[in-house]
């Protein structure tokens, strides 16, 4: 038997970061949105544990571990799984791009394992397993548009009346999330303990109005990411000059995302940026969290 689960990339519409806590984590007040770039994770019964990772034309999987450190494999350990599995990951989410690709794979593996073995675990149980794996993993299960607090793992769905069109420009070389947080600390030695709240953004989401949302987007990690990679600042200026309502660094970067006024508007920005950038994608949000796309007998069972 095998079970395939699809999980979406996330962007942060608001990312407020406070001073580091005693446990070293930064307190966050963030608004996540799941957008239509997906990884598919298939978990199959097998005689020995194994993992395969496939990329796509725009995703280089060279940086993705193929051993037990892969977060999808760690998710199966977190699920206290004692049986053997083959895990297949098909990636469309940029690696180390600030779009929570690894977290998506972890969420997908947790759900695929649950469905494969017909465990029917309660949402709370899956969410607790997800939170132990990483700050963004609970959101990858939930999807849609949601507020994240704590270190991002305390997730609460919020009202979002929009259909938002995004242009996504990944970078060829990833950026380490811990490195961006360290640079945030250097740039903001006096950051307040409480991260900035997303009041205006929540109001904008409830109107469904793109110009208003564009004005309310906020990312405290954008300046540190641009300081480390000045070309991201140039990309944002260029995308806005080509007609995007607003460009921003996605999470800790280096992927940049551009909010557009419509699907047609996003296609125009894609066409314009494609002249200078190798990979320019369009995506819509919000989309669903991790969900089963197929459960089937393994091929060798059908013979
Ligand atoms: P986030 O936005 O959650 O901080 P990210 O999108 O910047 O994460 P990921 O794509 O999740 O970054 O990858 C971060 C690192 O995690 C990679 O450089 C890689 O070494 C490791 N990793 C482990 N498992 C995976 C996986 N299944 N997919 C991608 N990266 C993985």
Residues 91-126 have pLDDT tens digits of: 999 998 889 999 999 999 999 999 999 999 999 999
Task: Among 64, 108, 151, name the best residue to mutate to test ligand 1's pocket (greatest count of ligand atoms within 8 A of Cβ).
Answer: 64
Residues annotated as catalytic are 10, 136
| 103 within 8 A of 74, measured Cβ to Cβ | no
Contacts of 298 (CB under 8 A, 6+ apart): 1, 2, 44, 45
The torsion angle over the Cα atoms of residues 230, 97, 162 and 137, rounded to 10 degrees, is -140
Position 82 scores a pLDDT of: 77
Look up the pTM and report it: 0.95
Rounded to a whole number of angstroms, the distance between the first and last alpha carbons of the chain is 13
Confidence of residue 88 (pLDDT cuts 50, 70, 90): very high
Token output for 269: 């920005």
Find the 211 Cα to ligand 1 centroid distance in Å.
32
User: Ligand 1 centroid to 98 CA: how many Å?
Assistant: 8
Query: Is 263 buried (19+), middle (13-18) or exposed (0-12) by CB count in 10 A?
Result: exposed
Q: Is the CB of 89 under 6 A from ligand 1?
A: yes
pLDDT (0 to 100) of residue 83: 85
């Amino acid at each position: 038997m095998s079970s395939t689960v699809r999980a979406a990339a996330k962007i942060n519409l608001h990312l407020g970061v406070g001073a580091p806590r005693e446990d070293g984590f930064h307190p966050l007040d963030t608004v996540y949105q799941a957008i239509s770039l997906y990884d598919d994770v298939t978990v199959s019964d097998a005689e020995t544990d194994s993992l395969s990772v496939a990329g796509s034309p725009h995703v280089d999987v060279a940086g993705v571990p193929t051993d037990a450190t892969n977060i999808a494999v760690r998710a199966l350990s977190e699920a206290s799984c004692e049986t053997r599995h083959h895990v297949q990951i098909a990636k469309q989410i940029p690696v180390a791009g600030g779009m929570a690709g690894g977290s998506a794979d972890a969420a997908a593996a947790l759900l695929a394992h649950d469905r494969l073995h017909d465990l029917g675990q309660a949402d709370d149980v899956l969410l607790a397993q997800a939170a132990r794996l990483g700050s963004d993993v609970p959101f990858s299960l939930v999807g849609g548009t949601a507020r994240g607090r704590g270190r991002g793992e305390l997730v609460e769905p919020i009202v979002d009346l929009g259909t938002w069109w995004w242009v996504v420009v990944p970078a060829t070389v990833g950026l380490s999330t811990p490195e961006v947080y360290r640079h945030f600390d250097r740039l903001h030695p006096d950051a307040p303990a409480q991260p900035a709240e997303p009041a205006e953004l929540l109001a904008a989401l409830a109107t469904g109005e793109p110009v208003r949302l564009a004005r309310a987007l906020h990312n405290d990690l954008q300046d540190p990411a641009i300081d480390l990679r000045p070309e991201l600042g140039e990309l944002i200026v260029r995308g806005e000059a080509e007609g995007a309502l607003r460009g921003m660094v996605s999470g800790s970067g280096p992927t940049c995302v551009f909010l557009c006024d419509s699907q047609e508007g996003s296609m125009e920005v894609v066409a314009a940026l494609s002249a200078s950038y190798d990979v320019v994608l369009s995506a819509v949000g919000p989309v669903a969290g991790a969900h089963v796309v197929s459960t089937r007998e393994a091929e060798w069972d059908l013979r």
